[in-house]
Amino acid sequence: MIDPKPTPLKSHSTPKVGCLLLAGFSLLGIVLTAMVAAALIALYNRPQPISVTIWDGDAALEIETEAGSVGEILAEVGLTLNPGDLLDPAAETRLSDDGAIHITRARDVLLTIDGQSQSRRTLFTNPLDILNEATVQPGPLDRLWLDGTLARPADLLTWPIPVTQIEIRRAVTVVILDDGVVQQLQTAAETVAEVLAEAGITLFEADLLTPDVTTAVTADLQVQITRAAPISIIADGQTLTTRALGGTIADALGQVGVTLGELDYSVPSAEVAVQPGLVVRVIRVTEEIVTADETIPFEVVYQADSSRELDQVVVAQAGQNGTLRGYTRVRYENGVEVSRTPDSAEVLAEPINQIIVYGTNVVIRVVDTPEGPREYWRVMRLYATSYHPAALGGDNVTATGRILTKGIVGIDPTLIPYGSQMYVPGYGLALAADTGIRRRKLWIDLGYDDENWVSWSRYVDVYMLTPVPAEIEYILPEI
């Protein structure tokens, strides 16, 4: 080693001038000697290069350095520390040969709690360590996501890979009022839909939910469910079991897309309020108009003609039936006919009346009888029979009180008045004094006593003798 102390120079006596020169040279030598000594001392005290390994994470850097401390060598190689990074040994530590410096870099981790995010610098990679460092403790019902993957609190300690994002959704209290039944639960669900699923609650389409399923969950949120009533609807041959939310049957039908036509109706009626367990029958109503033609009979019109003789009858105009078309409304309920109601009618062809002209001119004529000529005013073609008291069970008193004997005849008094006199060929003169048993208009029953009874059964011309009655039936019935 070089001794840093300069060796003292020895003193010599010299002449004055020489002494001055010698003094000058001595001073210079001292200066030079001092400078050399200083250089030797600096050279002696200069640090010797040492070998250092710097570990920056998993990257190793081996260098020869004359730096005296950890901080100096980091500055020498241009390595900077970020907040949260760990340096071992500390920056002020003196370096030693073959020493090692370790830099553990802190990582950025995003911690989000109930939507509030904060970025943290941490040396930890395990999520449990990170949360402990942040003094955050997940609750047993909280929801936890590690880098977007749903995890359980029990998974934190053994999570196999470093995490960069941790999200926690704290469980809150939610109250569910399900048709009056109250249920309270702690949940970390994000939406009302998730709350209902977590509670095992099923909603039917017609149920009313407040707020709706997309609503975000907040603390002390109240979820109210108004349940639709279960009903059955029988329509169009099918039975639909559904639910209806309040209102009327009409509202319930509308909710399931069952429409009532103009004539359709429901049982109970559409205005009835919906009740649980209600069975509604939809009656489909259709109507059609059917037609049927009917005959309009013509009428017989009689016209008197004083220029024609009595009992002369002619058809002046032939009758013709008309046609009436009737329209009937036929009603069907669920395809079954239930009623027919006359709707309207129209005459397709008017009937044409038959016109019969009859004579009213009474002509008096004479007929020869066994009792002599007699005047008559009419001849009537009648069917003649005969009767006698024995045939009546012995009754011989007529309707007019006369005794039944020959010459008394029974007639229809509505055609031939009692008291009318007549002549019956083959029988003789006769008096209308009894009522015919068979009550036939164009019929005459010839009376006899029991001893003289003669059977009759044939048509005969009967002459109506004068006087002419005040009232005459001009139109005689047909035989």
What is the SS3 assignment for 127? helix
Indicate the pLDDT class of residue 229, thresholds 50, 70 and 90.
Answer: confident
Q: What is the pLDDT of residue 479?
A: 66
With CA atoms as reference, report the closest residue to 243 among 282, 189, 199, 204.
Answer: 204
With CA atoms as reference, report the closest residue to 30 among 1, 11, 8.
Answer: 8
Average pLDDT over residues 307-332: 96
CB 62 within 8 A of CB 73: no
With CA atoms as reference, report the closest residue to 111 among 86, 81, 133, 141.
Answer: 133
Q: What is the pLDDT of residue 15?
A: 44
d(C-alpha 192, C-alpha 177), whole Å: 13
Q: So what's the architecture of 362-465 in CATH?
A: Beta Barrel (2.40)
Q: What is the pLDDT of residues 374-390, one digit of tens each?
A: 999 999 999 999 999 99
Q: What is the pLDDT of residue 38?
A: 54
Q: Does the pLDDT value for residue 6 go beyond 90? A: no
Q: Which two tokens stand for residue 145?
A: 């996501």
**Percentage of the chain modeled with pLDDT above 90:** 62
Average pLDDT over residues 11-19: 40
Report which secondary-structure segment, H or E, holds 375: strand 372-387
Q: Does the pLDDT value for residue 439 go beyond 70? A: no
Q: So what's the architecture of 107-169 in CATH?
A: Roll (3.10)
Indicate the pLDDT class of residue 18, thresholds 50, 70 and 90.
Answer: very low
**Percentage of the chain modeled with pLDDT above 70:** 89
Indicate the pLDDT class of residue 22, thresholds 50, 70 and 90.
Answer: very low
pTM for this model (two decimals): 0.46
Q: What is the pLDDT of residue 31?
A: 52
Q: How far apart are the first and last CA of the chain?
A: 185
With CA atoms as reference, report the closest residue to 105 among 74, 132, 80.
Answer: 80
Report which secondary-structure segment, H or E, holds 361: strand 354-361
Q: What is the pLDDT of residue 339?
A: 96
Q: Does the pLDDT value for residue 13 go beyond 50? A: no
d(C-alpha 387, C-alpha 297), whole Å: 41
User: What is 172-226's CATH number, 1.10.8, 3.90.220, 3.10.20, 3.40.50?
Assistant: 3.10.20
Q: What is the pLDDT of residue 24?
A: 47
Q: What is the pLDDT of residues 141-155, one digit of tens each?
A: 889 999 999 998 888
Whose tokens are 């995890």? That residue is 151
Q: What is the pLDDT of residue 19?
A: 38
Q: What is the pLDDT of residues 36-58, one digit of tens each?
A: 555 444 444 555 789 999 998 88
Q: Report long-range pairs for 188-192 (Cβ below 8 Å, ≥24 apart).
A: 188/141, 188/142, 188/143, 189/217, 190/216, 190/217, 191/215, 191/216, 191/217, 192/217, 192/221, 192/223
Average pLDDT over residues 300-306: 95
Average pLDDT along the chain = 87
Report which secondary-structure segment, H or E, holds 70: helix 70-77
Q: What is the pLDDT of residue 227?
A: 86
Q: What is the pLDDT of residue 37?
A: 53
Report which secondary-structure segment, H or E, holds 53: strand 50-56
Q: What is the pLDDT of residues 386-420, one digit of tens each?
A: 999 999 999 999 999 999 999 999 999 989 999 99
- Cβ-in-10-Å burial (0-12, 13-18, 19+) of 367 comes to middle
d(C-alpha 177, C-alpha 28), whole Å: 108
Q: What is the pLDDT of residue 33?
A: 61
CATH code of 288-358, in short, is: 2.20.230.10
DSSP letter string, 312-360: -EEEEE--B-EEEEEEEEEEEETTEEEEEEEEEEEEEE--B-EEEEEEE
Domain 50-104 class in CATH: alpha beta
Q: What is the pLDDT of residues 253-292, one digit of tens each?
A: 988 889 999 999 999 999 999 988 999 999 999 999 999 9
Indicate the pLDDT class of residue 91, thresholds 50, 70 and 90.
Answer: confident
Q: What is the pLDDT of residue 243?
A: 87
Which is more confident, 97 or 452?
Answer: 452
